[in-house]
Copies of this chain bind each other. A is one copy, B any other.
Amino acid sequence: MKVLWIYAHPEQRSLNAALRDEGMRALAEHGHEVRLSDLYAMGWDPVVDAGDFGHDRGERLVVTRASKHAYTSGGLSDDIAAEHGKLAWADTVVLQFPMWWAGMPAILKGWFDRVFVKGFAYGVTDPGAGGRTLRYGEGVLAGKRAMVVVTIGAREAAMGPRGINGELNALLFPLQHGTLWYSGMSVVEPLAVYGADRLGDADYKDSAARLRERLLALPTSDPIPFRYQNRGDYDDDHVLRSELAPGRTGLAVHDARTA
C-alpha cells in the first residue's frame, strides 16, 4: 500500500501519537510506504479564505466557483496543492483524530474544507454520460480506500446502537459517507478506542494490536457497502427507491446491508 496518514492531535506525547507511531511502524515493517500529514506539526491552516484560490478580495468570493477556477488553472495555494500531490500518490488514506464534540477537530475538518475543492472532490461531471455528476462512489478519488482511527472519551456502550451519544457510524456519517464516499473513496469500518481518557496498559496493548491488525488487513477488508448514486438505487431527486429498505428512514438506509 501507499498510505497517506492524516493525523490531527495537538500533543506528540499522547495516546494518539503512540498509536500513530505503532501503526506507521507496522505498515513499514510489512513493506508498505507511508507519508504523514501531521496537521498540528505542519501548522495547517483550516480556514477557507480567498487566498486559497488567489481570489481578488475586491470581488465577491463564491467558494465553489473560485476553488474550481484555481484548481483547473493551477492557482491553488501551495499547501493545498501539496496535499493534492499526496492524495494522488496514495492508494489508502488513514484519518486519525480524537473525537471532539462528536466529530473531527477543526484542524481536520478544515483539511477537507480546503483540500476537497470543486472539480477535485465534488462538482466532477462525466462528459461520457451526458454530464452526469460523479459522486457517491464515483469521482476523482474512486479506487482509493480510507479508514478512520478515532479515540473517544466515552465508553463503548454509550456509542452503541441505542447509546446516548449516538452510534459511532452515524456520528461519522458526515465524514465517511458525506465526504469520503461522496468523493469516490471506499471506506472500511472505523477503528475506535473507547474510554481513551483512562486507558490502562493492557487496554493500550489491546488497542495497538487491533490497530496493527486492521491496518495490515486494509487491502482485503470489505468496505462499508454504501449505495452508489448512479447505479439505480436512487431516483432522479436522489431519493432512495421505495422498494429498497422499504418503509425505513434514517442514515442506515444508505448502507446496502439495510433490508
Write the residues of chain A forming the contact surface with B, with a CB cutoff of 8 angstroms. Answer: 10-11, 13-14, 40, 46-50, 60-64, 100-107, 109-110, 112-113, 116, 136, 153-155, 157-158, 160-167, 170-171, 173-175, 177-179, 182, 197, 227, 229, 234, 237-240, 245, 248-254
Whether B197 pairs with A101 at a CB distance below 8 angstroms is no
Sample of 22 A–B contacts (CB below 8 Å): A10-B49, A10-B50, A14-B60, A40-B47, A46-B106, A47-B105, A47-B107, A100-B113, A102-B178, A105-B109, A105-B113, A106-B113, A160-B239, A161-B249, A163-B240, A164-B234, A164-B240, A165-B238, A166-B177, A166-B178, A167-B249, A171-B174
Q: How far is the CA of A105 from the CA of B161 in the complex (A)?
A: 28
Q: Chain B residue with minimal CB distance to A157?
A: B237
Q: Which residues of B contact A155 (CB under 8 A)?
A: 237-238
Q: How far is the CA of A106 from the CA of B155 in the complex (A)?
A: 26
Q: How far is the CB of A246 from chain B (nearest CB, A)?
A: 10
Q: Chain B residue with minimal CB distance to A235?
A: B157
Q: Which residues of B contact A136 (CB under 8 A)?
A: 164
Q: Chain B residue with minimal CB distance to A177?
A: B166
**Interface core residue of A60, A63, A107, A162 (most chain B CB under 10 Å):** A162
Q: How many copies does the complex hold?
A: 2
- Residue from B14, B100, B102, B249 in contact with A162 in the complex, judged by beta carbons closer than 8 Å: B249
Q: Which residues of B contact A162 (CB under 8 A)?
A: 239-240, 245, 248-249, 253
Q: How far is the CB of A126 from chain B (nearest CB, A)?
A: 17
**Contacts A10-B61, A11-B60, A171-B178 given; does A158 touch B251 at CB 8 Å:** no
Q: How far is the CB of A125 from chain B (nearest CB, A)?
A: 15
Q: Which residues of B contact A154 (CB under 8 A)?
A: 238
- Residue from B63, B101, B112 in contact with A179 in the complex, judged by beta carbons closer than 8 Å: B101
Whether B101 pairs with A238 at a CB distance below 8 angstroms is no
Q: How far is the CA of A179 from the CA of B165 in the complex (A)?
A: 10
Q: How far is the CB of A142 from chain B (nearest CB, A)?
A: 16
Q: How far is the CA of A238 from the CA of B104 in the complex (A)?
A: 23
- Residue from B107, B170, B179 in contact with A46 in the complex, judged by beta carbons closer than 8 Å: B107
